Structure 1
Amino acid sequence: MAKQESGFKANIGSSSLILIFIVMCLVTFGMLSLTSAKSDLSLANRNADAVTEYYRADTEGEAFYRMVAEEVKTACANAAGHEERLALLEKALGEYYRDGAAVTEVAMERAQALHIELEPDLDGEGSVRVAKWNVIQTEDYEIDDSMPVWGGTVDTEQK
């Protein structure tokens, strides 16, 4: 009699290979999704921090605006002529008064500041006009050019 093999043969067929390929694709896409989600979370946190910092500085700027508006109204109420009002306003604002405007910079993170310039109207009731209210860089931005980058020209000489 011929020998019969009794036992289980482990055959890896085409369906098993396809299943292994599908599992590997799902794991790869899962890892890419996690990496993308982590990057999105990091960007959202940085954006939230920047917005929070701006509104903190804006709140301080609003307090500065109210202080200047009160000083202008006080100067207009306590003095008759333009020159007298100007002298009272310069004395009240001190270092904030420069070149006919009330100027301040509210420090922010990442080498930025909220620059505010307010122009008082000393004629009439004493209103205040916002001349500038913007975010500025307080430090010079230096571009890192230490890595050599192709300039777009082809060197045809062979060395």
Structure 2
Amino acid sequence: MKKRFSNFGMSTILVVFAMMCIVTFSVLAFMTANSDYKLSCRVAENNSSYYQKCVEINSEIAEIDHMLYSAYTSTSSRKDYFNTAASMLSDENGSLTQDDTSTTFDISRQITDKQSLYVTLEIIYPSHQKDTFYKIKKWQLTTDTSLEDDDSLNLIGGN
């Protein structure tokens, strides 16, 4: 008597294998979507922080513009304008640098623990009252990516 092989067992194994594949790919897809969501949230938070600091700096630049305008209208010479502007800007959050050829005002804001925004304004003496009082020389986002050496991993039972 010949035993006949049943295909019922083979189809069950094939269905179980297909279900395992579907579950595995579903879990992988969920994990990928979850990590993409977390990354998107971090990027959105970083962008929001950056633009918030940009708004703060633009507000400060607007105040500086008003100060420079009042310095320009209250003085009659180029030298008096720069002296008055320097005394007004010394009270602001930033650093003023003057030399024989230019006057610059540096503003920096910390965005995150590793990112900072640096803005440098060159203070200029306008030819006319409607000209600009400053020129933006630098608007730079810097990221501190310095790596610290970590030699604390002990291999093969060392001290």
TM range (shorter): 0.7 to 0.9
Contact 1:82 1:123 in 2 (8 A): no
AA at the equivalent of 1:35: M
> Sequence identity, in percent?
21
Tell me if 1:23 matches 2:19: yes
AA at the equivalent of 2:73: A
| Aligned position for 1:111 | 114
| Aligned position for 2:72 | 76
Contact 1:106 1:115 in 2 (8 A): yes
Tell me if 1:141 matches 2:137: no
| Aligned position for 2:62 | 66
The one-character-per-residue Cα deviations of 1:6-57 (angstroms, maximum 9, x if unpaired) are xxxx985211111011100001001101110111011101100110010111
The one-character-per-residue Cα deviations of 1:46-99 (angstroms, maximum 9, x if unpaired) are 100110010111011101110111111111111111110000000000063223
CA distance in 2, matches of 1:57, 1:106: 7
RCO (CA 8 Å, sep 6+): is it higher in 1 or 2?
Answer: 1
TM-score (norm 1): 0.78
CA distance in 1, matches of 2:152, 2:54: 39
CA distance in 1, matches of 2:152, 2:23: 35
| Aligned position for 2:136 | 130
- Aligned-pair CA distance for 1:147: 9.5
TM-score (norm 2): 0.78
AA at the equivalent of 1:80: S
The secondary structure found in structure 2 opposite 1:109 is coil
Contact 1:101 1:117 in 2 (8 A): yes
| Aligned position for 2:157 | none
Contact 1:68 1:102 in 2 (8 A): no
Change (3 A) 1:86 1:44: same
Matched residues, number: 138
- Aligned-pair CA distance for 1:144: 4.7
Specify the structure having the higher radius of gyration (Cα). Answer: 1
Q: CA RMSD in A?
A: 2.3
Task: Return 5+ residue gaps in structure 1 as ranges.
Answer: 1-9, 149-159
Task: Return 5+ residue gaps in structure 2 as ranges.
Answer: 1-5, 154-159
